[in-house]
């Protein structure tokens, strides 16, 4: 019933939004005598804040039309190279014809399926583009997938990762951001166990819940405090009409968003108060920054119920992966089978979703990866979002990942000898081995 109540509330507010929008248009007219009065500015600001808070946010675009390679602006074309009803594999293809052949590593960024669209990682992709041939998983909103397309659970997520790595080909470097850390590690372990010729060259796990028994956060404690039956009866709803996924059981994105916002409710309330004050003052830069952030943050998608419930049970309640009990299609996931894929883990010092040590636990599981190909890095002063976006990501975290990937490329002989010689002096590991 949550979903139907949500849709009803949205419908009830629609006439109010329409009226508020009309008032804003009147106040924006250049010859309106009250537009520039204190009353007019306050009323216009109040109308805009109301619209921002109550409107439905659609899926944003990546909008990455170009990047700089060796100081030269090159066009970027976004296109789908593989697709299923539940996900598309996007390739950000760079036109480097003006600067000659490139031997940049192939990178697959596995976006989280946790309520937000893959565009939340726009900053992640943007920072990778200059030096990498970049792909990303673009998960589809479950409410837009007809029930006839079947189920999608954690096993299906793992299968998608494996198939997309095979599509991209050998020597792929996989980056898992947050939630996908567990299925990506399981996928690589399965590929190693079956001696798959397309095993990735490296995997980078960022802020992921590998072992939530370590330094548990409020999110972890909530997942353990409630039974799976409680989650099924309290947070799972069926998609209402007229959406294409009508009658599909889902974990609604708006519930996930509500949970995230209540964790930092005061900060979000203050942000909207600041928005109102900046609109009244006509201070455009902070207004744009606020709108850009919330255009992405408030755009949410639904998850299939089976994926959500299986993830809660496997990752947060049973701790199946660190216990060596996780199964994939009837086969135990054995991380010790991984020998030929290098491992890097990244954590944020102030992460309140994945506590310190939870991602680093992957090193204890991957016992047969050589020590000189295992790296762990903790970024000081950042929370969960800062691990993959923002200034620290661009200036401190991403450069370390870049050099880690380059080092693995050179050790595997994946780069032509002449180029390797030119970069020998510049490629240094910016982080310490585990």
Which of the pair, 238 or 417, is modelled with greater confidence?
Answer: 238
The pTM (predicted TM-score) of the whole model is 0.87
Residue 305 confidence class, pLDDT cut points 50, 70, 90: very high
pLDDT tens, residue by residue, 147-172: 999 999 999 999 999 999 999 999 99
What does the pLDDT read at residue 44? Answer: 84
What does the pLDDT read at residue 215? Answer: 94
Indicate whether 327 pLDDT > 80: yes
Rounded to an integer, the average pLDDT of 121-132 is 96
What does the pLDDT read at residue 48? Answer: 83
pLDDT tens, residue by residue, 23-44: 888 887 877 888 778 888 888 8
What does the pLDDT read at residue 263? Answer: 66
Lowest mean pLDDT among 149-153, 160-164, 284-288, 322-326: 284-288
Indicate whether 422 pLDDT > 50: no
What does the pLDDT read at residue 29? Answer: 80
Mean per-residue pLDDT of the chain: 89
What does the pLDDT read at residue 417? Answer: 44
Rounded to an integer, the average pLDDT of 311-339 is 96
Domains of the chain: 2-56+253-297 (no CATH), 66-227+303-423 (3.40.50.1820)
Q: Among 239, 244, 243, which residue's Cα sits nearest to residue 303?
A: 239
Indicate whether 127 pLDDT > 80: yes
Rounded to an integer, the average pLDDT of 279-290 is 82
d(CA 405, CA 380): 22
Rounded to an integer, the average pLDDT of 383-395 is 93
Residue 194 confidence class, pLDDT cut points 50, 70, 90: very high
Residue 429 confidence class, pLDDT cut points 50, 70, 90: very low
Which of the pair, 45 or 124, is modelled with greater confidence?
Answer: 124
Indicate whether 284 pLDDT > 90: no
What does the pLDDT read at residue 77? Answer: 95
Residue 213 confidence class, pLDDT cut points 50, 70, 90: very high
Indicate whether 92 pLDDT > 80: yes
Indicate whether 431 pLDDT > 60: no
């Amino acid at each position: 019933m949550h979903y139907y109540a949500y849709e009803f509330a949205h419908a009830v507010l629609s006439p109010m939004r329409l009226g508020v929008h009309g008032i804003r248009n009147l106040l924006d007219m250049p010859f309106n005598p009250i537009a520039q009065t204190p009353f007019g500015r306050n009323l216009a600001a109040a109308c805009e804040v109301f619209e921002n808070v109550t409107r439905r946010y659609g899926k944003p675009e990546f909008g990455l039309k170009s990047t700089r390679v060796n100081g030269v602006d090159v066009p970027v074309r976004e296109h789908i190279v593989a697709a299923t009803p539940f996900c598309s594999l996007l390739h950000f293809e760079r036109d480097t014809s003006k600067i000659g052949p490139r031997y940049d590593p192939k990178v697959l960024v596995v976006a989280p399926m946790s309520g937000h669209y893959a565009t939340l990682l726009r900053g992640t992709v943007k920072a990778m583009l200059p030096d990498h041939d970049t792909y990303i998983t673009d998960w589809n909103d479950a409410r837009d997938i007809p029930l006839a397309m079947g189920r999608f659970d954690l096993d299906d997520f793992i299968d998608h990762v494996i198939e997309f790595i095979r599509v991209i080909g050998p020597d792929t470097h996989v980056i898992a951001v947050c939630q996908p850390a567990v299925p990506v590690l399981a996928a690589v372990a399965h590929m190693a166990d079956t001696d798959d010729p397309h095993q990735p060259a490296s995997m980078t796990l960022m802020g992921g819940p590998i072992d939530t028994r370590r330094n548990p956060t409020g999110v972890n404690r909530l997942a353990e405090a409630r039974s799976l039956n409680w989650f099924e009866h309290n947070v799972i709803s069926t998609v209402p009409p007229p959406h294409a996924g009508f009658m599909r059981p889902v974990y609604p994105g708006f519930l996930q968003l509500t949970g995230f916002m209540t964790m930092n409710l005061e900060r979000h309330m203050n942000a909207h108060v600041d928005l109102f004050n900046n609109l009244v003052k006509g201070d455009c830069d902070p207004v744009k920054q606020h709108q850009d952030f919330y255009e992405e943050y408030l755009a949410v998608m639904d998850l299939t119920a089976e994926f959500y419930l299986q993830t809660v049970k496997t990752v947060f309640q049973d701790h199946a992966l660190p216990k060596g009990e996780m199964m994939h299609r009837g086969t135990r996931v054995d991380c010790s089978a991984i020998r030929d894929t290098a491992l890097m883990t990244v954590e944020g010092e102030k992460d309140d979703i994945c506590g310190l040590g939870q991602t680093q636990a992957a090193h204890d599981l991957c016992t047969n990866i050589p020590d000189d190909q295992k790296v762990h890095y903790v970024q000081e002063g950042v929370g969960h979002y800062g691990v993959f976006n923002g200034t620290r990501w661009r200036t401190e975290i991403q450069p370390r990942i870049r050099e880690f990937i380059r080092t693995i490329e050179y050790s595997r002989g994946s780069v032509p000898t002449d180029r390797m010689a030119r970069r020998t002096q510049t490629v240094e590991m910016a982080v310490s081995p585990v």
